[in-house]
């Protein structure tokens, strides 16, 4: 990955501008927000710095109109960035108060974070902050080593603290049913040329200098393959192969879990984003990797069947698998300067 695009991951607490202006300090803290995961690594966020506040604004020009026509995952991605920002604020001595969707006349304004001095972070929050530059999506097959139940309880607590639920898929039948939905999702999505075109447009060569999108390294493919991947994806329906691989990953991962919310509104999507960020960071603290198999949540008919399979009231938002395996390189990020509105 190009030097410039990986630079944001070098953020470290040691260089917080203690004697800098309020704006310099907030820009530094936004360096943690932009490391959040986002669908196709679109980073669909803008930030506006004001007097004792930061606004989080959806950048809908980065939406994925085929896979995410209602911007559900776009708002989840922004929610993940919001959680990282809140965490960083507290860890550097600020109190944060979040007002979700504060202005009906500005629907892209997802949240206003009011900032005051005097925040105190717990040891757990400090550990979560330190995990931000280590977290990354890991699409490799995980080792057979089980994830301890005590960590699964901590992940459920992390989700609940952000008003979401974390349902671990248990039992052979439930797991087989969810894995089958993932495979069906792959076949349906890949059969659609518009889905493939959209995915291909966010695939990047390994040596990309662009600050967004997904290099081949994130999929375990080599440099040359990463160059031709967009053409192959655009041209061929590889749904059957993808389905078989994802089904195997879903069946074989130590943990398969669904993060959901009671409602399915933009407010709930913002909460789901904060919850998934917190869950992934809590897992990363214990060196547990995660990756997503969201296909069933992206196709309404499959989402209905996923709800029936889980038998859990509410709405599934994210489908993840968790386990142990050394992660690959980071994906690129756009620098803070590119996402702060003047």
Q: In terms of CB distance, is 234 or 245 closer to ligand FMN?
A: 245
Which residue number is nearest to ligand FMN in terms of Cβ?
37
User: Of the ranges 11-19, 49-57, 134-142, 168-176, which one interacts with ligand FMN (CB under 6 A)?
Assistant: 134-142
Under the binding rule (CB under 6 A), the answer on residue 41 touching ligand FMN is yes
Under the binding rule (CB under 6 A), the answer on residue 294 touching ligand FMN is yes
Nearest to 71 by CA among 210, 242, 272: 272
Nearest to 111 by CA among 159, 77, 79: 79
- The dihedrals phi and psi of 73, each to the nearest 5 degrees, come to -70, -25
Under the binding rule (CB under 6 A), the answer on residue 77 touching ligand FMN is yes
Under the binding rule (CB under 6 A), the answer on residue 73 touching ligand FMN is yes
Under the binding rule (CB under 6 A), the answer on residue 84 touching ligand FMN is no
Under the binding rule (CB under 6 A), the answer on residue 189 touching ligand FMN is no
Give the one residue of 25, 84, 137, 253 binding ligand FMN; rule: CB under 6 A. Answer: 137
User: Of the ranges 50-58, 109-117, 253-261, 286-294, which one interacts with ligand FMN (CB under 6 A)?
Assistant: 286-294
In angstroms, give the least distance from the CB of 28 to ligand FMN: 19
Give the one residue of 30, 64, 80, 336 binding ligand FMN; rule: CB under 6 A. Answer: 80
In angstroms, give the least distance from the CB of 137 to ligand FMN: 4
Give the one residue of 136, 196, 303, 321 binding ligand FMN; rule: CB under 6 A. Answer: 136
Give the one residue of 40, 46, 282, 307 binding ligand FMN; rule: CB under 6 A. Answer: 40
Q: In terms of CB distance, is 101 or 292 closer to ligand FMN?
A: 292
Contact footprint for ligand FMN (CB under 6 A): 37-41, 73, 76-77, 80, 136-137, 139, 214, 291-292, 294, 331
């Amino acid at each position: 990955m190009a030097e410039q695009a990986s630079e944001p991951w070098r953020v470290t607490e040691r260089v917080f501008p203690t004697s800098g202006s309020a704006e310099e300090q907030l820009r530094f803290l936004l360096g943690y927000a932009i490391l959040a995961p986002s669908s196709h690594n679109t980073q669909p966020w803008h930030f506006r710095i004001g007097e004792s506040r930061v606004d989080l604004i959806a950048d809908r020009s980065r939406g994925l109109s085929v896979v995410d026509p209602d911007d559900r995952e776009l708002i989840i991605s922004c929610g993940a960035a919001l959680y990282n920002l809140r965490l960083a604020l507290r860890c550097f001595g600020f109190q944060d108060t979040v007002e979700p969707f504060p202005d009906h006349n500005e629907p892209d304004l997802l949240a206003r974070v009011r900032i005051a001095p005097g925040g105190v972070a717990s040891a757990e929050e400090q550990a979560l902050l330190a995990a931000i530059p280590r977290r990354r999506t890991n699409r490799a097959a995980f080792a057979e080593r089980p994830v301890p139940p005590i960590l699964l309880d901590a992940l459920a607590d992390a989700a609940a603290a952000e008003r979401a639920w974390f349902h671990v898929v248990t039992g052979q039948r439930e797991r087989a049913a969810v894995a089958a939905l993932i495979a069906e999702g792959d076949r349906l999505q890949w059969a659609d040329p518009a889905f493939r075109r959209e995915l291909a447009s966010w695939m990047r060569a390994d040596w990309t200098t662009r600050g967004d999108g997904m290099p081949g390294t994130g999929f375990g493919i080599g440099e040359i393959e990463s160059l031709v991947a967009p053409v192959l994806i655009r041209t061929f329906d590889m749904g059957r192969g993808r389905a078989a691989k994802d089904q195997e990953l879903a069946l074989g991962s130590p943990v398969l879990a669904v993060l959901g919310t009671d409602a399915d509104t933009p407010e709930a999507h913002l909460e789901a984003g904060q919850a998934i960020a917190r869950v992934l960071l809590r897992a990363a603290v214990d060196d547990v990797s995660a990756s997503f198999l969201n296909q069933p949540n992206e196709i309404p008919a499959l989402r209905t069947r996923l709800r029936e399979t889980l038998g859990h009231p509410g709405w599934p938002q994210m489908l993840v698998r968790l386990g142990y395996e050394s992660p690959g390189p980071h994906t690129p990020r756009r620098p803070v300067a590119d996402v702060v509105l003047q």
